[in-house]
Amino acid sequence: MSNLISATLTPKAMEIYKEMKRGDKSRIISELIVNHTIQELRAEAFQKQINAKNMAISRVIWELKGNPIHKSLLTDLNDLLIGTIHYQNEIN
């Protein structure tokens, strides 16, 4: 276990810190740091998953492009990609 050397807290954070029980302060701060790191990793994995799905949808559009039977489906799939780099301006 390492010691916390110093920290700059906002007035509200300092108020909360002072209200914590003496033995709980280190444990709570450690949990906050670890949980924040875990949340960042989860968000990154989630973004990678979304990007992979967008790439797959884009590939399906590319493969079916030109077949008039699939035009409605392609339009619906392409609408899911609006705002991403995978959106295709023309799917005719």
pLDDT in tens, 54-91: 999 999 999 998 888 988 999 999 999 999 999 998 87
In a domain, 55, yes or no: yes
Residue with tokens 């007035």: 11
The Cα 90–Cα 59 span in angstroms is 14
Number of domains in the chain: 1
Domain extent, residue 56, equals 37-92
- Give a yes or no: residue 7 inside a domain: no
In 10 A of CB 58, how many CB atoms?
A: 19
Tens digit of each residue's pLDDT (9 = 90 or more) over 28-58: 888 888 888 899 999 999 999 999 999 999 9
Angle between helices 25-64 and 71-79 (to 10 degrees): 160
Average pLDDT, the chain: 88
Structure pTM?
0.60
- Domain membership of residue 89 (yes or no) is yes
Q: Is residue 25 part of a domain?
A: no
Task: Answer yes or no: is 69 within a domain.
Answer: yes
Domain membership flag for residue 65: yes
Q: Is residue 67 part of a domain?
A: yes
* Residues 74 and 91 sit within 8 Å (Cβ to Cβ): yes
Assigned domain for 1 exists: no
- The C-alpha angle 43, 17, 33, rounded to 5 degrees, equals 25
Q: Where are the alpha helices (DSSP H) in the chain?
A: 11-19, 25-64, 71-79
User: Following CA atoms 21, 25, 28, 31 in sequence, which dihedral angle do they give, to the nearest 10 degrees?
Assistant: -160
